[in-house]
Amino acid sequence: LAKTTQPISMDSYEGQEVNITCSHNNIATNDYITWYQQFPSQGPRFIIQGYKTKVTNEVASLFIPADRKSSTLSLPRVSLSDTAVYYCLVGDIPGRRALTFGSGTRLQVQP
């Protein structure tokens, strides 16, 4: 499983766009990039997944450059309810190897 590096924490204000970058220099050809969100006292939940270029859903966008050695999760116009920990995972079949989450990025949104 590719090792990932994310910022430990980020601060933002309501209405701003937040970009969280994840580095994964040793990503393999078959690996997908998946982001999860975790609120306090809850299990992580899926936000978005991509393989290359850009993916957008109703919650976020995921930007992946051509070399795929990093990815950026973009949250448009954040609100207080976006305060959470965000995890970046890189891998092919979850569970084929040990699936570790790392520390994630703690996003704090202020009013």
Partner 1 sequence: DAGITQSPRYKITETGRQVTLMCHQTWSHSYMFWYRQDLGHGLRLIYYSAAADITDKGEVPDGYVVSRSKTENFPLTLESATRSQTSVYFCASSGGQAGNTIYFGEGSWLTVV
Q: Using CA atoms, how far apart are residues 95 and 63, in angstroms rounded to an integer?
A: 25
Q: Using CA atoms, how far apart are residues 83 and 79, in angstroms rounded to an integer?
A: 8
Q: Tell me the one-letter amino acid at 13.
A: Y
Q: How far apart are CB 99 and partner 1 at their closest, in Å? A: 6
Query: Which spans of this chain sit near partner 1 (rule: CB under 8 A)?
Result: 30, 32, 34, 36, 41-46, 49, 51, 85, 87, 92-96, 98-104
* CB closer to partner 1 out of 13 and 46: 46
* CB closer to partner 1 out of 15 and 102: 102
Q: Using CA atoms, how far apart are residues 57 and 68, in angstroms rounded to an integer?
A: 20
Q: How far apart are CB 16 and partner 1 at their closest, in Å? A: 25
